[in-house]
Chains A and B, each alone.
Chain A
Amino acid sequence: MTFAKYMGAATILALTAGAVQAQDLRIGLQEDPDILDPDQSRTFVGRIVYASLCDKLVDITPDLEIIPMLATGWSWSDDGTVLTMDLRDDVVFHDGTPFNAEAVAANIDRSKNLETSRRKSEVSSIESWSVIDEFTIEMTLAAPDATLIAQFADRSGMMLSPTAFNEAGEDFGLSPVCAGPFSFSERIQQDRIVLEKFEDYYRADEIAFDSVTFLPIPDTTVRLANLRAGDLDMLERLAATDVSSVEADAGLQMESATSLGYQGITINVGNGERAENPLGSNATVRQALSLAIDRGALNQVVFEGAFAPGNQPYSPASPWYNASFPVPERDVDAARALLAEAGFADGVTIEVQVANNPVQTQVMQVIQSMAADAGITIELVAKEFATLLSDQSAGDYTASQVGWSGRVDPDGNIHQFMTTGGGINDSKYSSESMDQLLNDARLSTEPAVRGESYDAAIALQQEAMPIVYLYHPVWIWALADSMQDFTPYPDGMIRLHGVSLSE
């Protein structure tokens, strides 16, 4: 072969290689997900991966409306105890197993009965289910449960291949098989999760990428540096303190959405002996603490104004927010008056535990100095998160600065925290009227009826204040300028339908 021919061949090879070069999307994650089995996993970041891997029965719009996904429609019986769902007839799992009512039945069974299923409480209202025909399934509930459909918009609604989970059992997550736009290719723990485009996906024309690689990079500075260096196409959870520098960077763009979750101070009001202190035993002291906090200033100082101040489990932008109780202005005199009324005119000293990361510590330090002005001395105890959680659960705390990642249905953000015996009610707050209101809100599927119950529950909550809500985090995504049509969602997920990368 002469040199010219050689060069010619090389050029053609190079050109064709360019033409068929696969387009890979690289996304930087803040943490490494846990096991990739929707029935067993627990991390927020795992759900970001599922958004590309596992389609759900239903999905949400950015306005939190529930829309069809694998289910084409659904209806409730008049008494609200029978749910009938119609399913798509053109879906296959990544291993070729057909998706049908039998598959949905097997998935419900797994979520309910797998020994280590973390979804049990989410689908506990389903008592029995039956396959009506190939693409129709019926679920019978013990009592009406308005929250169920929203559960199907998250991990409980993710459909896994029954062939795969029958074979792999609890190890399904090592090589998950679902029905989403991408199929699982490989995972190197703490390094990468690679998904490949699923050619038989029923909405394949909406997917512009041949593969997507998730790279866990915990350090926010390094994650951003990777995006700037072109080693990432986008990243999730940009630090609020980096917002201005991303805005100033012509090569980057930014998207954001207020999350469904919150951060607050959970107060031990009845969880063992340590509840016996001025803060735990006296709602007026808790109200004084809330009034002493300038939530707007807190947001400015720690988050450069990027987050949303809040005083309820729902953000002020949510339709469930009770507008009769707006985010209170700081009022030191009123706080002092409340303390005096509670019999603590000389002030009180309380202990608050906080996770030992810089951001949460800073949040509590700001609150510490604000509270001091009102005569509330806060002693901060920094704990590593796993310890903080077990102390909180065991009642070995006075007050604890923690948060909640948020759920689509309003019930998921209040019921288990405020009802007697609720799974995460670490305050051990208990009130018959609160139980009644929150249980009633589950019974109706009418938003207006539910709204009344929640409004009344929030009014009670503002009085008793077992949790002092502080702010709602805002999900911030930083993207390369070449990314197009990315839509931010309040659940913090990255949905790749319709998203593309310009050359």
Chain B
Amino acid sequence: MLTFLARRIFIAIPTIILISIFVFGLQHLLPGDPILVMAGEERDPQVIEALREKYRLNDPIPVQYLAWVGNAIQGDLGISLRTQQPVLELIGEKLPVTVQLAVMALIIAMVIGIPAGVISAYKKGTWVDWIANVIALSGLSVPNFWLGIMLILLVSVNLGWLPASGYQPLSEDPLQSIRTMLMPAFVLGTALAATLMRHTRSAMLSVLQSDYVRTARAKGMKENTVLIRHALRNALVPVVTVTTLLFGELLAGAVLTEQIFTIPGFGKLVVDAVFNRDYAVVQGIILCTGVAFIAMNILADAAYRVLNPRMTST
């Protein structure tokens, strides 16, 4: 297992370098000048020049890239052009927020999606399957922003059950923290639940037709044991892959959800940074997200081996 992990990490290095080049290059291809945005309404030419010098924007792009990578390797991702806060500090501040949102959303998605998938596969073709499918499809089709605003109007404004927006750190007030995150996590989670349900259903359908399930049933095993211990465990392999890939969708979904519920997380940070052409922040975030993605993929591969020990030689 260790050599497997070491090899995967080694292979990931060139990918990370490529990501860093892409991030840097694409960012500088964007039209719009960060200094004009920063200089404010007055746009004093003297100030513009001073700012360009300060942020080394007069250097050729390859020189800027090398300087950035050099600093990044030493853990310095630069400072935000907009607020002058160090990017690493910003990421450290925002990451726990989005991770909490993503984890809560993933839990909600799994709690809804996996049982729904199992049940609809088991009851294939009946009204139960049909209802589960309708719910899943509506979860996929309803846009996040619409569902979010509807929930705010219903749950916060009319019923007054949950706060409409904002964020409370988990460490300060766990209960309030979960309360503020519940609606956004639900909004994000329902869309994922639908995808998970569809995948669980199709994996279960093929597994339920396999020989070993028939054998297990023939042995007179309880149906629940057959379903959960024999069928579901094998059906979960593709579901795990989908879940890790969904993590990316989660981050993308978080961008919108965080805007609606005003959660100061990664997604909101990146949107504001792109609009303000806050180069250092955009680069820092995308690099970190890229690394996180690669890490998730490695973890997923490791998880397959735990679920199915026969997958050893790859």
Which residues of A are at the interface with B, using a C-beta cutoff of 8 A? 32, 34-35, 41-43, 115-118, 120-122, 170-171, 173-174, 188-192, 215-219, 221-222, 225-226, 228-231, 384-387, 389-391, 393, 404-405, 416, 423-424
B45 near A174 with CB under 8 A, answer: no
Nearest Cβ on chain A to B80's Cβ, whole angstroms: 8
Closest 4 CB pairs of A and B: A42-B40, A386-B32, A191-B264, A387-B32
Nearest Cβ on chain B to A314's Cβ, whole angstroms: 17
B211 part of interface (Cβ distance < 8 Å):
no
Which residues of B are at the interface with A, using a C-beta cutoff of 8 A? 30-34, 36-47, 50-51, 54, 82-85, 90, 93, 149, 152-153, 156-157, 160, 163-167, 259-264, 268-269, 272, 275-277
A423 near B44 with CB under 8 A, answer: yes
B44 near A121 with CB under 8 A, answer: yes
Distance of A405 Cα from B182 Cα, bound (Å) = 38
Distance of A424 Cα from B33 Cα, bound (Å) = 16
Which residues of chain A have C-beta atoms less than 8 A from B166's C-beta?
A: 191-192, 215, 226, 231
B83 near A173 with CB under 8 A, answer: yes
Interface of A, secondary structure class, is loop
Given contacts A219-B259, A231-B164, contact A386 B43 (CB under 8 A): no
Nearest Cβ on chain A to B187's Cβ, whole angstroms: 13
Nearest Cβ on chain A to B222's Cβ, whole angstroms: 49
A191 near B32 with CB under 8 A, answer: no
Which of A116, A385, A423 contacts B45 (CB under 8 A)? A423
Q: Most A CB atoms within 10 A — which of B93, B163, B166? A: B166
Given contacts A222-B261, A386-B37, contact A190 B272 (CB under 8 A): yes
B165 near A226 with CB under 8 A, answer: yes
Given contacts A384-B32, A386-B32, A389-B36, contact A118 B44 (CB under 8 A): yes
Which residues of chain A have C-beta atoms less than 8 A from B51's C-beta?
A: 116
Given contacts A115-B50, A116-B54, contact A225 B41 (CB under 8 A): no
A215 near B262 with CB under 8 A, answer: yes
Nearest Cβ on chain B to A340's Cβ, whole angstroms: 38
Which residues of chain A have C-beta atoms less than 8 A from B260's C-beta?
A: 219, 222
A174 near B85 with CB under 8 A, answer: yes
Which residues of chain A have C-beta atoms less than 8 A from B272's C-beta?
A: 32, 190
Can you list 9 A-B contacts with CB-CB less than 8 angstroms, sorted by A residue number? Answer: A34-B83, A35-B83, A43-B40, A188-B167, A190-B272, A225-B157, A386-B36, A387-B31, A416-B42
Distance of A171 Cα from B277 Cα, bound (Å) = 20
Distance of A118 Cα from B48 Cα, bound (Å) = 9
Which residues of chain B have C-beta atoms less than 8 A from A173's C-beta?
A: 83-84
Distance of A49 Cα from B233 Cα, bound (Å) = 56
A389 near B82 with CB under 8 A, answer: no
Nearest Cβ on chain A to B152's Cβ, whole angstroms: 5
B37 near A191 with CB under 8 A, answer: no
A424 near B43 with CB under 8 A, answer: yes
B43 near A170 with CB under 8 A, answer: no
Specify the chain B residue showing the minimal Cβ separation from A390: B33
Distance of A191 Cα from B258 Cα, bound (Å) = 11
B83 near A189 with CB under 8 A, answer: yes
A405 near B41 with CB under 8 A, answer: yes
Distance of A121 Cα from B41 Cα, bound (Å) = 12
Specify the chain A residue showing the minimal Cβ separation from B97: A191
B36 near A423 with CB under 8 A, answer: no
Specify the chain B residue showing the minimal Cβ separation from A406: B41
Which residues of chain A have C-beta atoms less than 8 A from B93's C-beta?
A: 188-189
Distance of A189 Cα from B82 Cα, bound (Å) = 11
Nearest Cβ on chain A to B26's Cβ, whole angstroms: 15
Given contacts A42-B41, A118-B42, contact A393 B83 (CB under 8 A): no
A42 near B39 with CB under 8 A, answer: yes
Distance of A41 Cα from B37 Cα, bound (Å) = 11
Distance of A229 Cα from B160 Cα, bound (Å) = 6
Which of A32, A35, A120 contacts B44 (CB under 8 A)? A120
Distance of A189 Cα from B276 Cα, bound (Å) = 14
B38 near A42 with CB under 8 A, answer: yes
Nearest Cβ on chain B to A234's Cβ, whole angstroms: 15
Which residues of chain B have C-beta atoms less than 8 A from A189's C-beta?
A: 83, 85, 90, 93, 264, 269
Which residues of chain B have C-beta atoms less than 8 A from A228's C-beta?
A: 157
Which residues of chain B have C-beta atoms less than 8 A from A171's C-beta?
A: 84
Which residues of chain B have C-beta atoms less than 8 A from A393's C-beta?
A: 33, 36, 43
Distance of A189 Cα from B85 Cα, bound (Å) = 9
Q: Most B CB atoms within 10 A — which of A43, A189, A215? A: A189
A222 near B149 with CB under 8 A, answer: yes
